[in-house]
Copies of this chain bind each other. A is one copy, B any other.
Amino acid sequence: MFFASDNSGPVPPQVLTALAEANTGYAMGYGADAEMAEVTARIREIFEAPEAAVFLVATGTAANALALSTLCQPFETIFCTPTAHIHEDECNAPEFYSGGAKLTLVPGAPGFDDKMTPEALRATIAKEETRGVHGPQRGPVSLTQVSERGTIYSLTELQALAAVTKEFNLPLHMDGARFANAMVALDCTPADMTWKVGVDAVSFGGTKNGLLGVEAVIFFDPKHAWEFELRRKRGGHLFSKHRYLSAQMLAYLTDDLWRDNAVKANDNCAYLAQGLRHAKAPFLHEPQANMIFAALPRATHQRLFGAGAAYHLWDAPLDGDPQEQVAARFVCDWAIEKQQIDQFLALITQPE
């Protein structure tokens, strides 16, 4: 009953098999391995982007901070939501990698701060850089798909946001730590969700969807390639035994493993959501991918934790009125077994 995060479960056997297969003989290091050539070709094919520059790193924070620092000057500001991972959960990595750029917060959807609206983005961008040399200059816009609150930007919403960034001639970055979960939920292609709507660079996540630790950074304009390579090396994120990153990513992109895992995770989530709905748990929003924000009585939380369930309470302590509803975040990955979900739901609906 582990719903704490989608980065805590096991990896599928294909990934370990791929590591074993890559583990033969000697290979050129630092990204010059044969597997990486295949990864690049495969990603270009999947994204329908034959010129794209593709790089692998091992963490999402590295992917985001390196991508943004390549798109941003230190005297600029990056636009993101108040709940953005780059703002809340990277311990100032974007500020560090960019050499001291600022993050300007674009208010998200009312009450939830999860998704930018074009209006809020335009207003926030317009307000910045009205002070000439005194304020920071406008820099890249970064949005997270799936958002940190489990919601998804529709293709229409992405287009509208990208249109705003183009009005101001700003680059658009997508933090796609849960890229595959969004894509299968929208039933669209990778290209649909990125360059076709105007995304310039994407952190294409693998870790939360079944890899040991690999994320791809993709620039649709290859002019950024060399600078990114230098920044990656300077950040200590260039692997000498790079083939083991490549092998993971290749396994991920083979036989639709990445899509299948995302479908499984989203299905698990939908199944859990259905159960919670049946149990009359109030939802903070309608779940769209593999994360649920819903409330349960404190007594129920206590029973669940007591039985070994793992998940995060949301902005409220466990101590207090046992009948009071307290929100929580439930995250599903591909590996959760239905039986675990059933057991969990049984605990919820069990009479006190």
Contact = CB atoms under 8 A, between A and B. Distances in A.
Interface residues of A, number: 73
Contact of A102 (B58, B103, B237): B103
Given A212-B244, A235-B235, A75 B19 contact: no
Contact of A233 (B11, B63, B90, B212): B90
Interface stretch (A34-42, A128-136, A191-199, A271-279): A128-136
B96 A99 contact: yes
A340 to B, nearest CB: 10
Interface in A88-119: 88-93, 95-103, 105
A247 B11 CA distance: 14
Contacts of A160: none
B95 A131 contact: no
Interface string A1-41: 01011011111000010011001111111100000000000
Give the copy number.
Answer: 4
A2 B98 CA distance: 39
A62 interface: yes
A241 interface: yes
Q: Which 8 A-B pairs have the closest CB atoms?
A: A62-B236, A2-B26, A7-B240, A61-B236, A95-B100, A99-B99, A96-B100, A75-B230
A74 B99 contact: yes
Nearest to A94: B100
B16 A88 contact: no
Nearest to A24: B10
A151 interface: no
A241 to B, nearest CB: 5
